[in-house]
Amino acid sequence: MRKYAVLVIVIVGSCLLFLTGYNQQDKKVHMPDMLSFAHRGASSVAPENTRAAFAKGVELQADFLECDVHLSKDGELVIMHDDRVDRTTNASGYISDFTLAELRQLDVGSTYSKEFAGESIMTLDELLEEFYHQVGLLIELKNPQAYPGIEEKVATLLLGYEDVSSIILQSFDVESMRKMHELLPDLQVGVLIRPTDSFLSAKSIEDLTSFATFINFNVSFINKRMVDKIHAQGGKVLVWSKKDKRLLAKAHKYGVDGVITDFSNWPTNDPIYLVQE
């Protein structure tokens, strides 16, 4: 009798574990039509927004490299995430208080790992020169309102590229992206939606999709209904997450057009992606 009780407990327990998602086995998800974007480069395996992370993104066969852009004190377009250099370099202060020559002296690799000591900051110009012909580029303008004229500088740089179909500009700043669209109508732009603003009314979807090709969300703040509404207006949706291990599975479930990921759960070389649930 005791044997049967134990057996029943084991079977019921296993069913509960399975139903509650505690089954930690890798699951394969097929996502043939979904684009992959290496968030700040392949930033789970190399220091974010560096040449090394971008090269790794290409090696891992990302469709696009995502990067963040600011202006230096002397007006150069430079690649870094934060508006201060403290977290990712051996120095302290606002990027906008350093000239490009000064920024080039900073080590952007060592805070991640000694293995990357000596990595130096890239300009947007250099990123385009080195990677434009290899992979798509998703360029985020960080706090563009703090850098008057940044849209014109980016437009002038991109005018040097006849075909901009493999480049996307994005920002949390809607007006900045509206301006980019006016400056370069052929360029695809994306609007990043803050988690606190994730419910978009029909009117705002209509307004955003009138100039933006992409409307991009943190994966934890979107649902399939919102994706369907944006698709119905002709827009596309990208989702990102830094921590959610279910990013790829959710993206697949919601039917979005691409995932922006640091590649901690990175796709294999074929369209079958591995994801932990």
Residues near ligand G3P, by CB under 6 A: 39, 66, 68, 81, 140, 192, 240, 260
Told to check if 68 binds Ca ion by CB under 5 A, we report: yes
Residue 76 interacts with which of ligand G3P, Ca ion, none, CB < 5 to 8 Å by class: none
- Burial class of 247 by CB neighbour count within 10 A (0 to 12, 13 to 18, 19+): buried
Torsion of CA 149, 150, 153, 155, to 10 degrees: -110
Minimum CB separation from ligand G3P for residue 51, in Å?
Answer: 18
Minimum CB separation from Ca ion for residue 212, in Å?
Answer: 16
**Contact pattern from residue 17 through residue 56 relative to Ca ion, giving x for each residue in contact according to CB under 5 A and a dash for the rest:** ----------------------------------------
**Contact pattern from residue 122 through residue 161 relative to Ca ion, giving x for each residue in contact according to CB under 5 A and a dash for the rest:** ------------------x---------------------
Of the candidates 39, 70, 181, 231, the residue annotated as catalytic is 39
Residue 240 interacts with which of ligand G3P, Ca ion, none, CB < 5 to 8 Å by class: ligand G3P
Of the candidates 30, 81, 133, 181, the residue annotated as catalytic is 81
Residue 181 interacts with which of ligand G3P, Ca ion, none, CB < 5 to 8 Å by class: none
Minimum CB separation from ligand G3P for residue 172, in Å?
Answer: 8
Q: Is 70 a catalytic residue?
A: no
Minimum CB separation from Ca ion for residue 69, in Å?
Answer: 9
Minimum CB separation from ligand G3P for residue 65, in Å?
Answer: 11
Give the residue nearest to ligand G3P (CB).
Answer: 240
Active site residues: 39, 81
